[in-house]
């Protein structure tokens, strides 16, 4: 799929291309985004870029009415498409969770490009890719547990609202100033519909998704096939790759397809009786990790999505439950049905 990032790497924009983008944006000094339900607007500091991806650049901004520091994601519709930008806005307006980046407002630039502007909660602590790169696989299990628990909370909340993220990776989990996780970037997400079942509204995942999307190193193996896939199960695989990288300091393979010799060796090792964690390490000496943590990796890195851990099973795993604090009122993690779905 066009626009896919290489595993654990930002797609580089040449200085010339990026310079033109900046100059084009900077010419529009009247770029504003209206806060919902308010007559206030936002001031964008184009001199302070805080992030960039293949289709968007993020700048520091300020809510003029409140003085709050926020982030402004400027998306080029020619790269991601207007549908993707609008989808992200609607999803962020729908979600409300302490570990999902908060939506603050939106707007469009003037001029022919008509860039989409999303004003979001500021997360100034970097992303989990930076954390993994600096730790070199030496994060303690207490730190891993804290970070991963927050990642699970974010994804569980999305799934409870019918949202499959479809691009979970280390770079899309950012940290705020307090070091808490925030899930970002929903332009590839899919929103499932709802149906009545035995008098109750349930998420309808009966139809498999067929659009291949996500980042190569993190996307589930079934996403690259023509058989279709379940978005929730694919997200759980991606969480498993994230946890493996955080725990071991490296990715298990470059991509989960037969094109990658490491993935082929991975599937052969499993067929011969190795656990997924052992197969993914492929003889590399990883840090010593508890059996409970390895059990989670084994459950998430199941090539068969029907045998993969569900989000509710993951939340109740021994590794997470063993150190779970009593949740304060209003801060319990969302739990959804553990039903697995099979592509038709």
Is the model more confident about 108 or about 292?
Answer: 292
Partners of 175 in beta bridges: 181
49, β-bridge pairs: 59
Query: Residue 271 in 3-state DSSP?
Result: helix
- The values of phi and psi at residue 144, to 5°, are -55, -45
pLDDT at residue 333 tops 50: no
| CATH of 128-321 among 2.60.40.2470, 1.10.510.10, 3.40.50.300, 3.30.300.20 | 1.10.510.10
pLDDT of residue 323: 65
Cα-based distances in Å from 44 to 48, 58, 77, 305: 9, 10, 19, 43
Q: According to the model, what pLDDT value does residue 31 have? A: 45
Q: What is the pLDDT of residues 224-267, one digit of tens each?
A: 898 999 999 999 999 999 999 999 999 999 999 999 999 999 99
pLDDT in tens, 262-303: 999 999 999 999 999 999 998 788 889 999 999 999 999 999
Residues 22-37: tens digit of each pLDDT:
222 333 343 445 444 3
**In which band, very low, low, confident or very high, does the pLDDT at 141 lie, cut at 50, 70 and 90?**
very high
**Residue ranges of the chain that CATH labels 3.30.200.20:** 15-121
Phi, psi dihedral angles at 331 (to 5 degrees): -120, 25
Three-state DSSP class for residue 193: strand
Given 63, 127, 167, 235, the catalytic residue: 167
Looking at the predicted structure, is the pLDDT value of residue 344 above 60?
no
Three-class HEC string of 170-186: HHHEEECCCCCEEECCC
Residue 75 near residue 115 (C-beta atoms within 8 A): yes
pLDDT band at 80 (very low <50, low <70, confident <90, very high): low
DSSP percent split of the chain into helix, strand, coil, nearest 5: 35, 20, 45
At 192, give phi and psi (nearest 5°).
-75, 150
185 classed as catalytic: no
Q: Is the CATH number of domain 15-121 3.30.200.20?
A: yes
Specify which residues 209 forms β-bridges with. 229
DSSP state of 276: H
Cα(184)–Cα(200) distance, rounded to whole angstroms?
30
- CB-count burial class (<10 Å; 0-12, 13-18, 19+) for 107: buried
Q: What is the pLDDT of residue 275?
A: 96
* Residue pair 176/122 in contact by the 8 Å Cβ criterion: yes
Between the two ends of the chain, the Cα-to-Cα distance in Å is: 23
Domain with CATH 1.10.510.10 in the chain: 128-321
Q: How many CB atoms lie within 10 A of CB 330?
A: 6
């Amino acid at each position: 799929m066009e626009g896919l990032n290489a595993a654990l790497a930002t797609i580089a924009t040449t200085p010339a291309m990026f310079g033109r983008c900046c100059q084009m944006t900077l010419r529009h000094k009247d770029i504003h985004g209206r806060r919902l339900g308010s007559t206030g607007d936002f001031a964008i500091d184009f001199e302070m870029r805080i992030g960039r991806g293949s289709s968007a650049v993020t700048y520091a901004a300020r809510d003029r009415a409140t003085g709050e520091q926020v982030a402004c994601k400027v998306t080029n519709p020619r790269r991601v498409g207007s549908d993707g930008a609008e989808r992200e806005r609607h999803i962020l307006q729908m979600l409300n969770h302490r570990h999902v980046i908060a939506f603050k407002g939106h707007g469009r630039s003037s001029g022919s490009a008509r860039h989409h502007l999303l004003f979001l909660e500021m997360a100034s602590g970097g992303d989990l890719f930076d954390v993994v790169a600096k730790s070199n696989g030496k994060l303690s299990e207490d730190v891993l547990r804290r970070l991963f628990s927050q990642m699970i909370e974010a994804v569980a909340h999305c799934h409870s609202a019918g949202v499959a993220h479809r691009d979970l990776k280390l770079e899309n989990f950012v940290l705020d100033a307090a070091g808490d996780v925030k899930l970002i970037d929903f332009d590839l997400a899919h929103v499932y519909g709802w149906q009545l079942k035995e008098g109750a509204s349930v998420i309808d995942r009966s139809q498999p998704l067929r659009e291949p999307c996500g980042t190569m190193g993190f996307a589930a193996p079934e996403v690259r096939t023509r058989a279709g896939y379940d978005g929730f199960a694919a997200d759980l695989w991606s969480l498993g790759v994230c946890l493996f990288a955080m725990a071991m300091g490296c990715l298990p393979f470059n991509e989960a397809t037969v094109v990658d010799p490491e993935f082929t060796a991975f599937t052969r090792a499993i067929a011969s009786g190795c656990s997924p964690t052992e197969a993914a390490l492929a003889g590399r000496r990883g840090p010593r990790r508890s059996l409970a943590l390895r059990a989670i990796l084994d459950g998430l890195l199941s090539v068969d999505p029907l045998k993969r851990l569900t989000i509710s099973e993951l939340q109740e795993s021994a590794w997470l439950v063993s150190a779970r604090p009593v949740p304060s009122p209003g801060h319990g993690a969302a739990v959804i049905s553990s039903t697995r779905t099979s592509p038709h």
